[in-house]
Amino acid sequence: MAIKFQYNKTSQQSLAKQLKVRERALPTLKNKEAALRLEVKNAKDHALKVERELNKQLEAYSDIMSLWSEFDPSLLRIKEVKLSTKKIAGVPTPVLDEILFDVTDFNQFESPAWFPDGIEILKNMTKLAVEKEIFEQKMNLLDFARKKTTQKVNLYEKVQIPGFQDAIRKIKRFLEDEENLSKAAQKIVKNRQQKAEAEL
């Protein structure tokens, strides 16, 4: 990215202000990036933990899977998934508050005795599946924000800050050269005047 500037004091001051803004923002951006990196890892770890728990429960009930063919799937459905948002390093992320289920009434005398337990098992497994999904969504949101922050850190650190420093250095040298030339020209004029006065 080429930084546009003019060889004058005003341009130098403007660049110095922009440089100062970026130098002040850089540590904050680096901290945000580190915090987001940690939160992405935590969300990923939690999603994996929930997935392991879900798989463990599926395994635990695998020996009674044949019974599930008797189960009526219309007995239980998700009525509502209540979410709230929590900001992590300025990024709004979803938080699972609760899952509301609709349980259809059924005749407990005509249905197998395990149906009430089966409903609780399904509720628990559904909660785990939804929780895993939300942590994956949270991880994706945080990872996207981390990538954006990393890009900004790199832009400031590797492009803009060195660019502004280089532009300020060029302006300083130009102004110093101009001042030296001006002084040399004044000296020459002064010497000529003195020489002319001496000849009179």
Domains and CATH numbers, the chain: 9-193 (1.10.287.3240)
Task: Give the tens place of pLDDT for each residue, 8-31.
Answer: 889 899 999 999 999 999 999 999
d(CA 84, CA 99): 12
d(CA 37, CA 148): 12
pLDDT tens digits, 81-117: 999 999 988 899 999 999 999 888 877 777 777 778 8
Q: What is the pLDDT of residue 158?
A: 93
- For the entire predicted model, the pTM comes to 0.75
d(CA 200, CA 48): 98
The secondary structure element, H or E, covering residue 133 is helix 115-154
Tell me the pLDDT band of 200, cut-offs 50, 70 and 90: low
Kindly state the tokens that stand for 16.
């110095």
Q: From residue 119, how far is each of 74, 127, 183 by CA, in Å? A: 11, 12, 93
Q: What is the pLDDT of residue 2?
A: 73
The answer to which of 108-112, 114-118, 122-126, 188-192 has the lowest mean pLDDT is 108-112
